[in-house]
Structure 1
């Protein structure tokens, strides 16, 4: 299916000192996307309230999920989300599970067709906290747990669209909180090292082991080594290199139908710095979009 780029300049899921720069990062990437195949979600400007959920800015995050779901329902093609923070992936995974079949050709109303999706989560962090285990209250660190069906009401996916832990594959993880480690160990979640990401056959084998026939790929740009990208709100040393990451993404989308993708975590310090980082980011975008030509609108 052709690709449609959905820009979600959400920053409210981050508690980094550079949180608001995630919106600037999304806008910078948008400037190099084909306008005819790009949709922008109008993210509210307000920070939002926690409302006793344990999730900072919960009210706005809930609203962005609703707005993103609405935008996705009106686009054709395979959605490639451009964040913003990692929360951009939430509605997109829900959408992919709900509409996809094993072939990715037509939407299916049969729940039996909806269990064929694996999520490849490429990130320096597993994002598997809940409001109870999170040391920060940032939804950025809870997104994948919400995709697995656990978390604050209205943000966690329901039983018909959640992705079970057996179909999660984490790659490039370098910082794990205690609650996340407990979840990973309890459910035997597949975790691949940075070194593993340099060998696409290892990643493809892990995805095949899930039994899935389609894949959703999430790339938090902090999976990259910070020496290759300046605009990171959570830089972590010893990440994967851009060449290796691009080769991996091309191999994955050549092996599996791409049900959707998300790119997040770009928070440039200034427009000038953003320009310096864009060639690397656009290589990542291009590798994911190589699964299909851009859609026309």
Structure 2
């Protein structure tokens, strides 16, 4: 079984350059790949301090090039499974779209995230909040063109979600997407097992957005950005789970069906990022 380990330091989907450094550090922390694994790094535009909104999407042209590069690397390697080390949440678009195309009606997505990521440019310009909607075939053509086999709503479970905004709530209800609250996740995995069995999911991709975690107990999150103002996060749902809760769900899912995709996203180790930036200014280290 061919596995592709994809390091994808995309940052403009979330319009935060620190996502790039977070992905690079995550790649160092993740276990070394096995013999059947090929490792690739998706080229990402050199960060700027700002990104303009282009036809409704922040950094559209750069994101378009990066998604096309990811798609090309996947099709060159024709993997059976893909592990993605990101980067903002948009990194999972091309890999999960490929897996949906390969495994067809047996494919499902477990979206471990405080947010559903089903918005479009009409609601929000940062494309990391569009990715799951695009995998369903909804949203901007720049994203949906990568999805040859849209994932039916019944084959999606969003776990860890709470307090969606009005648009998200309407979209989730209209499409009857399976939802599990953080409190329900803490009680056990019965809903996960029932969903996998009911939908006959033989191959699963798991999206793990670290912002599902409680920012008071796991600090490497955007909500602990030392440069942010308190008002920056007003009205935005924050995670409630502990790391062990989420890992238990991933392990249980992997025991119930074949996990062929895993995306880990939005890792922001602020102290390490700040230290790296500071060290880069010391002449003797850079000569």
Corresponding position of 2:204: 215
Corresponding position of 2:194: 205
Compared CA separation, residues 214 and 176, structure 1 to 2 (3 A): same
Corresponding position of 2:173: 185
Distance 1:192 1:273 in 2: 35
Distance 1:272 1:138 in 2: 22
SS at match of 1:170: strand
Are 1:5 and 2:5 counterparts? yes
Compared CA separation, residues 231 and 69, structure 1 to 2 (3 A): same
SS at match of 1:254: helix
Shift of 1:24: 0.7
Aligned residues: 256
SS at match of 2:132: helix
Asked if the contact 2:134–2:147 (Cα under 8 Å) also holds between the matched residues in 1, the reply is no
Question: Rg: which structure is higher?
Answer: 2
Shift of 1:154: 2.1
Corresponding position of 1:138: 126
Compared CA separation, residues 140 and 159, structure 1 to 2 (3 A): closer
Asked if the contact 1:197–1:203 (Cα under 8 Å) also holds between the matched residues in 2, the reply is no
Distance 1:254 1:128 in 2: 28
Shift of 1:133: 2.6
Deviations 1:97-155 (A, max 9, x none): 1223xxxxxxxxxxxxx122111111111111111233xx1111111111110111121
Shift of 1:272: 6.8
Please list every run of 5 or more consecutive structure 2 residues that lacks an aligned counterpart in the other structure.
225-236, 277-287
Shift of 1:192: 0.4
Which of the pair has the greater relative contact order for Cα pairs under 8 Å at 6+ separation? 1
Corresponding position of 1:63: 65
Shift of 1:167: 1.4
Compared CA separation, residues 205 and 32, structure 1 to 2 (3 A): same
Deviations 1:65-90 (A, max 9, x none): 11111121233452110110000110
Corresponding position of 1:14: 14
What TM-score does the superposition give when structure 1 sets the normalisation length? 0.79
**Mapping of 1:1-297 within 5 angstroms?**
1=1, 3-15=3-15, 19-33=16-30, 34=32, 37=37, 38-45=39-46, 50-52=53-55, 54-75=56-77, 76-100=79-103, 114-134=104-124, 137-157=125-145, 160-198=148-186, 199-234=188-223, 237=238, 239-271=240-272
Distance 1:73 1:51 in 2: 28
SS at match of 1:31: helix
SS at match of 1:218: strand
Distance 1:158 1:71 in 2: 13
What TM-score does the superposition give when structure 2 sets the normalisation length? 0.81
